[in-house]
Amino acid sequence: MRYILALLVTVITCHCLTASVHAQTSSMDSQSYKIRLGNFNMTSGYKSSTTYQLTDTVGQIAAEFFYNNNYHVKAGFQYIYALYDFSFNLSSLSIDLNPLSPNTFSNASHTLTVTAPGQGYSVAAFETRQLTSTAGDEIPDTLCDTGPCTESLAEDWVIPTNNGFGYNITGDDKDPEFSLPTQFRPFPDFSADEPAATIMTSVLAGKNRIATVNYRISPAADQASGTYTTQIVFIATPVY
Amino acid sequence: MHKFHFVSYILLSTFYFLLLTNSVHADSAGLSISPPVIEILLSPGQTTTQTFTLKAQGQNLNLIPEIHSITPQGNTGHVAIDLKPLDPGSLPLSITSPKYQLGEAIPLIGDTLVLPLTFKSAAEDITQDVYLALVFKAVSSDPGTTSSQTSPGISALILATINPAGVIPIDLDIEQFSLALFHDSWYPLTLQPLLKNNTSSMIRPQGEYSVISPTGKTVFSLPLYPNLILGHSSRNILGSHTRCEGNPHTGCVDISPLPLTWSPTWHNLGPYRLHLTITTIGGTKLTELEKIVWVLPLRLILLITSLSAIVIVIALTFFKQIFKLKQP
């Protein structure tokens, strides 16, 4: 009996301790009401009387209106209630496509997570150069099967003898160009002055929007052996 | 026995906490930036400073702050970033950081990087806008040599107007404010107009969409969402949830945009005027447009007509039969 009591006390203590770790959210609701606070701050909102009107975000860093005779600066989303920061997360900083075999697909993937207040966001992607070995040999970007697919146009790529390197994207807010998981396209090449490709886009605020980037490579039979690398850059941009 | 309880307590507590701990990938990277957008109105030759705060998660990261030019894309407030970093000294709005060198890698120490930027406008006596993005790229400080690398980047928009006169030129056009002459009162009426900014200076106009009945009574009104429209670009005109009171310093406090949708009721019949007014934050009228639409119960009329036709056909057939029977 004492052992059970001790066990019970232990579990309750643990639960209380962990419950106190979690931050309270700025949303209160029941079946009949829902209150949303403007920011994760001390306070925020719209105040007015017959003599003044004011929006404030007490505690939010840098969301302010600064002015004097020579400049005005509006920082942050003062016009809307920003419920969260603009953030972007990449689940992996490396792409491991090894081992590579001629005329055989190798695949790798990782996720992108975006949280955007306001009226949405976009994520653009590009490669700094084509996959290049230390000896200077290159694995070309994919042209897909019957394409050719381009930096903005995705096409089916299921035949591994059509060699190259490309990607597709699945999940939230993906570029609608990728309507099927078999459709791929090459990354824009920064060294060739190609503009970045939009891979995720939304006109709505969203929290933890997750998409998966799937990389695919199939080297040719006569591809010189070596270690081929490049850098893929993803840039998240808010809507103004 | 007490020792047994103590050990149980420790083991259970440890297990419980381990279960609740979030998993962290050492190879991942996360960035958040504040503020995400700034608007600057600056006189020529003047200086102002804004601090950007970047929070980063990840190990062995270097952060590279760069300034890129941007161009508006579409009608929804998206921008396209020019991938080549700009030389901040070459712009009419020079940008410097007293703390870090733009374009050079900064090792991430802790999880927060505070970057103050000083903006100084050129002493030119012309009104001009400069649209830029402050891009932070995160790169691993220990990149492997056997695999390709990925780099996350996050950007904050810097939208600046350099204005010597203190008066912003305004030239706005309402576009795509077109609709059919008749509308079925069964369905909601949604408009998707555009507001085009013909000047090179950005503007954040306000306004109101209203529906006026044949008797002159306003049956529906919606304040417009105070979206920013960059120079020589267009933006969808949207409504907002709350009334836009218009404060010269803080603008409106609307929660989120919504489409311009009016749902007629069964008694809304006749020629209705759809009125769109665009104003400044101070309330000065900039442009307005009005269209007339006839709201009619088209579906009901069609139904009644069809039923009447069926009844007439049945009646005619019936009387024809009777007439035939009465024939000798």
ipTM of the complex, rounded to two decimals? 0.79
Least confident of A61-65, B149-153, B209-213: A61-65
B263 pLDDT band (50/70/90 cuts)? very high
Phi, psi (degrees; rounded to nearest 5) at B14: -60, -45
| pLDDT value of residue A159 | 97
Query: Quick one: average pLDDT of B197-216?
Result: 94
Number of residues that this document lists for chain B: 328
Q: List all residues of chain A from 26 to 85 with a beta carbon under 8 Å from chain B.
A: 45-46, 48, 53-55, 60-63, 65-67, 69-81, 85
Give the pLDDT confidence of B107-164 residue by residue, as tens digits: 988 889 999 999 999 888 888 899 999 999 998 887 666 678 899 999 999 999 998 8
Extract the tokens encoding B152.
Answer: 């996350």
> Does the pLDDT value for residue A2 go beyond 80?
no
Q: For residue A127, what is the DSSP state?
A: E
Extract the tokens encoding B162.
Answer: 């350099």
With a pLDDT cut of 90, the percent of chain B lying above it is 57
Average pLDDT, chain A: 77
Query: Quick one: average pLDDT of B263-290?
Result: 91
| pLDDT value of residue A22 | 36
> Does the pLDDT value for residue A84 go beyond 60?
yes
Angstrom distances, CA of residue A229 to CA of A96, A186, B115, B225: 10, 15, 32, 47
Cβ neighbours of B99 (radius 10 Å): 12
Query: Quick one: average pLDDT of B245-267?
Result: 71
Q: Which residues of A170-187 are buried (b: 16+ CB within 10 A; e: fewer)?
A: eeebbbebbeeeebbbbb
The size of the A-B interface in CB pairs under 8 A is 261
| pLDDT value of residue A59 | 36
B171 interfacial to chain A (CB closer than 8 Å)? no
Beta-sheet pairing, B29-34 with B61-73: unpaired
Q: Are B229 and B202 in contact (CB under 8 A)?
A: yes
Given B34, B80, B156, which is nearest A61 (Cβ)?
B34
Q: Are A133 and A226 in contact (CB under 8 A)?
A: yes
- Give the separation between CA B171 and CA B238, rounded to whole angstroms: 19
| pLDDT value of residue A78 | 46
What is the SS3 assignment for A177? Answer: coil
| pLDDT value of residue B55 | 93
In this structure, is the dihedral angle defined by the CA atoms of residues B238, B243, B244 and B250, taken in order, positive or negative? negative
C-alpha B62: how far from chain center: 31
B165 pLDDT band (50/70/90 cuts)? confident
Q: For residue A23, what is the DSSP state?
A: P
- Higher confidence at residue A77 or residue A195? A195
Phi, psi (degrees; rounded to nearest 5) at B123: -85, 40
- What residues does A138 pair with on adjacent strands? A132
> Does the pLDDT value for residue A113 go beyond 70?
yes
C-alpha A201: how far from chain center: 10
> Does the pLDDT value for residue A21 go beyond 50?
no
Instruction: Note whether B153 contacts A235, CB cutoff 8 Å.
Output: yes
Query: Quick one: average pLDDT of A189-212?
Result: 95
Give the pLDDT confidence of A130-182 residue by residue, as tens digits: 999 999 999 999 999 987 999 999 999 999 999 999 999 999 999 999 999 99
Shortest Cα distance, chain B CAs vs residue A157, angstroms:
21
Query: pTM score, two decimals?
Result: 0.76
Angstrom distances, CA of residue A103 to CA of A165, B51, B135: 12, 52, 38
Query: Quick one: average pLDDT of B9-19?
Result: 49
Extract the runs of DSSP E, i.e. beta strands, from A11-120: 27-29, 34-36, 43-48, 53-58, 65-67, 71-75, 86-90, 94-95, 106-116
Q: What is B195-207 written as a DSSP string?
A: EEE-SSS-B--EE
Chain A residues close to B258, C-beta within 8 Å: none
Residue B87 sits at the vertex; the CA angle it makes with B34 and A195, to the nearest 5 degrees, is 75
C-alpha B69: how far from chain center: 20
> Does the pLDDT value for residue B78 go beyond 90?
yes
> Does the pLDDT value for residue B244 go beyond 70?
no
| pLDDT value of residue A28 | 36
- Higher confidence at residue B222 or residue A5? B222
Q: For residue A195, what is the DSSP state?
A: P
Contacts of B45 (CB under 8 A, 6+ apart): B120, B121, B122, B123
| pLDDT value of residue B7 | 65
Least confident of A117-131, B9-23, B127-141, B260-274: B9-23
| pLDDT value of residue A209 | 96
> Does the pLDDT value for residue A58 go beyond 50?
no
With a pLDDT cut of 70, the percent of chain B lying above it is 86
- Higher confidence at residue B323 or residue B211? B211
- Give the separation between CA B192 and CA B177, rounded to whole angstroms: 7
| pLDDT value of residue B123 | 86
Chain A residues close to B230, C-beta within 8 Å: 240
| pLDDT value of residue B141 | 80
- Give the separation between CA A124 and CA A200, rounded to whole angstroms: 7
Contacts of B281 (CB under 8 A, 6+ apart): B204, B205, B206, B226, B246, B247, B248, B251
| pLDDT value of residue A49 | 41
Phi, psi (degrees; rounded to nearest 5) at A204: -125, 150
Q: Are A220 and A163 in contact (CB under 8 A)?
A: yes
Q: Using alpha carbons, select from B287, B153, B136 the residue that is nearest to residue B208.
A: B287
Query: Quick one: average pLDDT of B37-41?
Result: 92
Number of residues that this document lists for chain A: 240
Average pLDDT, chain B: 86
- Give the separation between CA A238 and CA B159, rounded to whole angstroms: 13
Q: For residue A7, what is the DSSP state?
A: H
Q: Which residue has the tokens 């107007």?
A: B161
B266 pLDDT band (50/70/90 cuts)? confident
Q: Using alpha carbons, select from B122, B56, B75, B127 the residue that is nearest to residue B95.
A: B122
Q: What is B133-201 written as a DSSP string?
A: EEEEEEEESS--SSSEEEEEEEEEEEEEEE-SSS-----EEEES----SEEETTS-EEE--EEEE-SSS
Q: Are B254 and B244 in contact (CB under 8 A)?
A: yes
| pLDDT value of residue A48 | 40
Q: For residue A190, what is the DSSP state?
A: G
> Which residue in B37, B46, B129, B142 has the most chain A C-beta atoms within 10 A of its own C-beta, making it the best mutation to test that interface?
B37
Given B28, B32, B37, which is nearest A91 (Cβ)?
B28
Hey, which of A2-6, A11-15, A210-214, B25-29 has the most confident mean pLDDT?
Answer: A210-214
| pLDDT value of residue B166 | 74
Q: Which residue has the tokens 């004011």?
A: A54
- Give the separation between CA B1 and CA A218, rounded to whole angstroms: 65
Q: Are A39 and A78 in contact (CB under 8 A)?
A: no
Query: Quick one: average pLDDT of A190-206?
Result: 94
Extract the tokens encoding A119.
Answer: 């009226």
| pLDDT value of residue B241 | 73
Q: List all residues of chain B from 268 to 327 with a beta carbon under 8 Å from chain A.
A: none
- Give the separation between CA B314 and CA B227, rounded to whole angstroms: 59
- Give the separation between CA A85 and CA B217, rounded to whole angstroms: 43
